[in-house]
Structure 1
Amino acid sequence: MRSLGFTVALGLAAALLGFVAAWQWRLGNFDALLGTPPVAVGQRVYDSFTPAEVKHIRVSSGGASAGFSLRENGWQAATPWEDRMDPRAAVAIINFTLAMRVEDLAEADDVDPSAAGLEDGSVKIRLEDADRRPLANYRLGRVSPWKAEVDGAEQAVATVFIQPRDRHRKRHVYLCAGDINPLFKDGLKFLRDHRPFYFNPVSLGKIRIRSQQGDLTLGRETPQSPWRIVKPLDLPTDPAAMKKLLEGLFELQAIRVSDRAAASPPAEDAAVKPAQIAITTFGSEVETVLEIYPPESPENQEVRATVSDRPNTRFELPLKPEPGIVSLADLPLAINDLRDPTLTRLNVASLRTISIQPATGAEILISREPPQPWMTTIDGIPCEANEENLFALLKAVTSSRATGFESDAATDFTPWGLDRPVLTLRFLSRDNQVLELRFGLDSRGGLFVNRAGTATVMRVDESFLASIPVRPYEWRHSRLWSVDRVNLLGIMRVDDGGPPLVLKYQFNQESWQAGQEGKDLTPRLDPARANFMLSVLEGLKVSRWLAANDEQALAALAKPSLSLTVTEFTTDDEGETAGIMDRTVVFAPAGTPGFFFGRLGEDPHPFLLDAETYGKLAAGLLER
């Protein structure tokens, strides 16, 4: 028979087991009794929530504390200021918390709190959900001497001491990769948004500017529409300038922010209105207005400002350019800074006719009917237009930018020489729309342009005229000739007036023979070099055509440095051999560095050839 003591012992054991089972059933674990097991190396300290669940952030450091909540208008601070939290700081805190990966760990009793930066007054961070339930609660210590290797990082990253303050998790200190300590310096001031504006650039529909240069309004109909100046004139904007303005407004940051009640008010001057930059988003009629007060003296580097949706805050914004920051001086705020300075935005694909009318020459007409190439007429003979010059013309009128805006209300164009233009360009599109640009020179040689039918006069760089070919011969196609190796019989080459080198060619065998002064030099001829010279001759293009009376070219070509005579079969319309033809092209050094003069047979117009192509033609063909 069992003793009474044994029975009591069994009863106590059963009660204890029942209590433990009930505890485990109620809480799911024994963490409250034994403590949460430490997080293993390589694992994250917090992984049970997502960034979207975080609705409240509490931070304290060195006696300063702040509380932030996510509202419809972003992260807002209730204490110690009633102002917007810097959303970048909120994202950094949340992402850092979720990314804390354990590199090493120790018992809290084995770590000196002061050495790890975990003593009283250290940074404490608490993240909460919408119902104020804690998601993460920990102390952030100082940076440790050790570095961590992180996937995707080019260099090892810093590590910091972390001590969770959640229930049942206080017994361990972790070494985790990353560091956000700089966010919490100087009384947590970096958690306050120093940017006056906070917006999504895609959502902006209107920008209103009041500056010393005047008032203007920018607008667009949809997020996909281009920005336009809508007041005081309807003008297209410069995409690069608009990009600079939007990026500048987004990145503009105060050097200091303070509570408006605590800051001394700026000096008021009834005669001088504060400058304003106001933004409005699509679907809203409410402006967010930044008011910028005049500097108290010309030497001031900063100016005071306020913004309408942060009534308790005053900003000190950088006024003058400084390296590494966006200042007010960096923002394009004047109409001439924001308007499109491009001469025209032609739809090149729709062009059908181009007219070039110089003041002292005949009109040049260039036209096409796709898919045919661009054609022109030179000396009464239709021919293909020079593609390189056509590209240069279209590039000049579509990419050249005005260097200044003279007037938007001109009625008398005489001061700019536009009453007697030195050059007129007309562009006719397939829908019969005509664009006419008139260029004039003033008494000082400045070049100006006016689009016919408008009152706007723009200044352009004087070099623009040099980029437009205005002589008919300049519009000849750059292709010098067409050499067909199928019909090629031979090439006679003369270098610097020396004895001719005669090359005979057989297309069927793709072979060459060479002779000079009755000697057979075929064994010394390098066929690869001869074939290379022929390939250059087949597609030979001139760099630029010259006037028939170009004295420098004519004098140089009287003593050529290289002469090439090509002998070919000629064929009739049915492709049958009709005879033999010789064509000779000569070259001579030009006074212009990097070029050689050239001329084909009796063609009255010499040309320029680039030195690189000349070198390929003049390269030696014989082995020594």
Structure 2
Amino acid sequence: MPNKSTLYLILLTGLLAIYTVLDHNKKNKLGTINQNFKAIPIKTIDEIDEIEISSASGKVNILNSPSIGWTITHPVKDRADSEKIANILESLTDLKRFDTITSRDAPSRSEMGLTDSALSVKLLNKKELIGKIIFGNTTGVVDTIYAQWNEKNSSGDPFFCWADIKEVIDVPFDKVREKKLVNIPIKNIGKIEIEEQSGSALHVNRKRDGESWAITKPLKTNTDDENFSNWLSTITSLNSQSFIDKANSEIATAFTTIIKTISIHSNETKNLTVLEFAKSDSENSIFARTSDRPGVFFRMEKKSLDAINLNPNAIRDQRLLPFNPKSVVAFNVFALPSNKVDLLQDNNGWQIIDKTQKIKADDQRIYKILTSLSSEQVEKFVADAAGDLKPWGLDKPTLNITIKSVALDPKNPTKENGSPNLIDVTKKLLVKGQLAKDQEVIEYYATVEGSGTVVQLSPAFPSILPIRLLDYKELYLWPTFDLANLQSIKTSKPPQTPLELQYKYQSNEWSASLANENISNQIDAAQALKLAQHLSLPIRATRWLSNNTSEAEIALLNPCRKIEFTLVDINKNVHPFTIRIAPINEQSSNLLYYARINNNPEICLIDRENFDIMDMPIIRESSEE
């Protein structure tokens, strides 16, 4: 016949099984945070600012301060790992209990292991005891232990809880210490200064915008966002392998020679945290100490410190000429021997300044060129603070590029009235292409005037920057127009007689004549309208011919299509336009055609699609126009 203890355990096992079913299958109905199921009647961990963990290995006191966070105060004074402390508190406040043990036949407190020497946690708020939870022996039911919650002035009844809570609570105090050496959030870091025993140094400052960074030593330049972010993470992720709370003679001797110092300035608290590193007795590890954790020394992996590169080229901005393409107001190119392009942006967009006249430039292409130039990456940084540019031929550059833009004054970004304080910023890039030593390739070197920095460029650099005026000219062959302004169109295949088309916009009617004969009833009005609409878009050239135009000049003496059309503006001014088109190759099908507008000296190329529309038949059932 089973004894009373056996019956009691059978009863508790049944209760535990029922609870487990309810807990896992009816959570929504019962509510897992119901106060009746909570082992500790505390709503949130914010009510707790101090904990005391007592176990067989000793006592650990941990205090939360609004200014510095969780700190271990006993048995050592050191920073605690806030995430691990939060995990302990959440595990405690989320801990569920099973039915309270109140039977007279229940085991004694001693048998349950709920004694003064048992694992326990005191929870306090402003030095006042909230309560104490004690964890005892296993119950005999799988994965459960005895526990008891005692408040300040009263003792609670024992209960069952899951045993895995011990794995969270009963850990050596070193396991809840902060392993990270840097406790400043990245967003609050304003300056970092790194010095090495060899004399090498690297200083970086957060810029006024609060987002980007600049190198201030050994040179002054901006950083690359991605590379700098990766570099910064190597500093903020420095971790300790182990803690040394009592410095011995070996450590004291090691720190007589500092191999590297990292000084981190906080923007928020204005505090300075200094990390110092010294050689250890192992070639794979080093000693470290930090000014905000006095008396504590760390052993850490040497490779994690070696990963902090002091070469400024590893984090500097790799762009050749950083600027905002949208803020550029003037753009000048001069290339030897005599190619010169002057571009100015006004209310009508980009204009080519050619002597005393303005020629409409191709806005889209200029923006594309400026965007490519602003994002161009250097191949290699060759020199900084170069006083003599002769070794790279930059004392006599073959290409000069001047960018004038409008930007916020970095020193005084706003005026007294709060409006942006804009200033003119001019940058001049000097480029030289020359044969490499003992090689049959051209190397390109460049410098921003006055910077002292010399870089090597990609061999493909010249392709992103046209140097001829016509390369920047607007590709639309005439202004766009409304069909209401169209007066007439003449189209022919010289030397044939031209077909003359008259258009009445109000009635959308066409009339036509050929050799002074009215043939209005013979034309295809839909085709005529299609031609007119295409001309109004207007026609866009593929590109302008900058050189070797002799073949095009000869071809255009005998055009295969000639179209003349007349526009009348609201002031009754007449604007005539003529386009002559000739094939590049008369013996085969052409994908491109030569074209000239009016009597302009410039010749352009148009594609087959544009030509086919302008060459389509207008007279029905006739190929002669």
Tell me by how many angstroms 1:375 deviates: 1.2
Whether the aligned pair in 2 keeps the contact of 1:441 and 1:448 (CA below 8 Å) is yes
**What do the CA deviations read for 1:127-183 (whole angstroms, capped 9, x no partner)?**
3212141267476999xxxxxxxxxxxxxxxx999966244655555789xx99886
185, 201, 205: which is aligned to 1:215?
201
Query: Pairwise mapping of residues 324-363 of structure 1 onto structure 2 (< 5 A)?
Result: 327-328=304-305, 330-346=307-323, 351-363=328-340
70, 75, 85: which is aligned to 1:90?
85
Instruction: Tell me, yes or no, if structure 1 residue 538 matches structure 2 residue 534.
Output: no
Residue of structure 1 equivalent to 2:417:
none
124, 130, 134: which is aligned to 1:128?
124
Change (3 A) 1:241 1:60: farther
Inter-partner Cα distance in structure 1 for 2:531 and 2:82:
65
Whether the aligned pair in 2 keeps the contact of 1:60 and 1:124 (CA below 8 Å) is yes
Residue of structure 1 equivalent to 2:603:
605
Inter-partner Cα distance in structure 2 for 1:319 and 1:552:
70
Change (3 A) 1:418 1:287: same
Inter-partner Cα distance in structure 2 for 1:414 and 1:97:
73
Residue of structure 2 equivalent to 1:165:
149
Whether the aligned pair in 1 keeps the contact of 2:70 and 2:80 (CA below 8 Å) is yes
Inter-partner Cα distance in structure 2 for 1:312 and 1:358:
65
Q: Quick check: 485-494 or 81-90, which moved more?
A: 485-494
Matched AA of 1:473: L
Instruction: Tell me, yes or no, if structure 1 residue 435 matches structure 2 residue 412.
Output: no
Instruction: Tell me, yes or no, if structure 1 residue 365 matches structure 2 residue 345.
Output: no
Change (3 A) 1:286 1:245: same
Inter-partner Cα distance in structure 2 for 1:546 and 1:272:
69
Change (3 A) 1:359 1:532: same
Query: Pairwise mapping of residues 539-578 of structure 1 onto structure 2 (< 5 A)?
Result: 539-542=538-541, 544-549=543-548, 568-571=565-568, 574-575=571-572
Whether the aligned pair in 2 keeps the contact of 1:557 and 1:588 (CA below 8 Å) is no
Change (3 A) 1:55 1:377: same
Residue of structure 1 equivalent to 2:276:
291
Instruction: Tell me, yes or no, if structure 1 residue 420 matches structure 2 residue 396.
Output: yes
Inter-partner Cα distance in structure 1 for 2:536 and 2:282:
72
Residue of structure 2 equivalent to 1:57:
51
Tell me by how many angstroms 1:197 deviates: 0.8
463, 468, 472: which is aligned to 1:471?
468
Query: Pairwise mapping of residues 99-248 of structure 1 onto structure 2 (< 5 A)?
Result: 100=94, 106-107=98-99, 125-134=121-130, 137=133, 165-167=149-151, 170=157, 173=160, 187=172, 189-211=174-196, 214-219=200-205, 224=210, 227-248=213-234
Structure 1, unmatched stretches of 5+, are: 1-38, 143-158, 321-326, 495-500, 590-594
Tell me by how many angstroms 1:290 deviates: 1.8
Change (3 A) 1:513 1:137: farther
Inter-partner Cα distance in structure 1 for 2:119 and 2:533:
79
Instruction: Tell me, yes or no, if structure 1 residue 76 matches structure 2 residue 71.
Output: yes
Inter-partner Cα distance in structure 1 for 2:603 and 2:455:
37
Inter-partner Cα distance in structure 2 for 1:522 and 1:182:
91
Matched-pair identity in %: 19
Inter-partner Cα distance in structure 2 for 1:161 and 1:554:
100
Inter-partner Cα distance in structure 2 for 1:392 and 1:194:
49
Inter-partner Cα distance in structure 1 for 2:325 and 2:376:
15
Change (3 A) 1:617 1:392: same
**What do the CA deviations read for 1:64-104 (whole angstroms, capped 9, x no partner)?**
76331124433111345432111222333445555x397xx
Tell me by how many angstroms 1:193 deviates: 0.9
Tell me by how many angstroms 1:185 deviates: 8.2
Residue of structure 1 equivalent to 2:265:
280
Tell me by how many angstroms 1:438 deviates: 1.0
Instruction: Tell me, yes or no, if structure 1 residue 43 matches structure 2 residue 34.
Output: yes
Whether the aligned pair in 2 keeps the contact of 1:215 and 1:232 (CA below 8 Å) is yes
Inter-partner Cα distance in structure 1 for 2:167 and 2:260:
34
The DSSP-based 3-state class of the residue aligned with 1:601 is: strand
Q: Quick check: 162-171 or 352-361, which moved more?
A: 162-171
Inter-partner Cα distance in structure 1 for 2:298 and 2:556:
73
Change (3 A) 1:41 1:351: closer
Inter-partner Cα distance in structure 1 for 2:61 and 2:571:
93
The DSSP-based 3-state class of the residue aligned with 1:446 is: strand
Whether the aligned pair in 2 keeps the contact of 1:403 and 1:459 (CA below 8 Å) is yes
Whether the aligned pair in 2 keeps the contact of 1:75 and 1:85 (CA below 8 Å) is yes
Inter-partner Cα distance in structure 1 for 2:194 and 2:328:
38
Change (3 A) 1:598 1:87: farther
Tell me by how many angstroms 1:512 deviates: 9.9
**What do the CA deviations read for 1:510-552 (whole angstroms, capped 9, x no partner)?**
69999xxx998979x899xx86994697155445444342799
Tell me by how many angstroms 1:330 deviates: 4.8
Instruction: Tell me, yes or no, if structure 1 residue 249 matches structure 2 residue 235.
Output: yes
Change (3 A) 1:48 1:583: same
Inter-partner Cα distance in structure 2 for 1:533 and 1:587:
22
**What do the CA deviations read for 1:454-510 (whole angstroms, capped 9, x no partner)?**
32223333333321121111010132333533328679899xxxxxx9999875566
Change (3 A) 1:86 1:375: same
Matched AA of 1:276: T
Whether the aligned pair in 1 keeps the contact of 2:488 and 2:566 (CA below 8 Å) is yes
Whether the aligned pair in 2 keeps the contact of 1:123 and 1:141 (CA below 8 Å) is no
Whether the aligned pair in 1 keeps the contact of 2:386 and 2:453 (CA below 8 Å) is yes
Q: Normalised by the size of structure 2, how large is the TM-score?
A: 0.65
Q: Normalised by the size of structure 1, how large is the TM-score?
A: 0.65
Whether the aligned pair in 1 keeps the contact of 2:542 and 2:604 (CA below 8 Å) is no
Change (3 A) 1:390 1:598: same
Inter-partner Cα distance in structure 1 for 2:509 and 2:136:
83
Change (3 A) 1:315 1:461: farther
Inter-partner Cα distance in structure 1 for 2:165 and 2:591:
65
Change (3 A) 1:213 1:243: farther
The DSSP-based 3-state class of the residue aligned with 2:263 is: strand
Tell me by how many angstroms 1:289 deviates: 2.1
Inter-partner Cα distance in structure 2 for 1:183 and 1:605:
81
Tell me by how many angstroms 1:232 deviates: 4.1
Tell me by how many angstroms 1:207 deviates: 1.8
Whether the aligned pair in 1 keeps the contact of 2:243 and 2:297 (CA below 8 Å) is yes
Matched AA of 2:401: L
Inter-partner Cα distance in structure 1 for 2:280 and 2:476:
64
Whether the aligned pair in 2 keeps the contact of 1:280 and 1:286 (CA below 8 Å) is yes
Matched AA of 2:61: G
Residue of structure 1 equivalent to 2:60:
66
Change (3 A) 1:90 1:575: farther
Whether the aligned pair in 2 keeps the contact of 1:218 and 1:230 (CA below 8 Å) is yes
The DSSP-based 3-state class of the residue aligned with 2:460 is: helix
360, 366, 387: which is aligned to 1:384?
360
Tell me by how many angstroms 1:578 deviates: 7.3
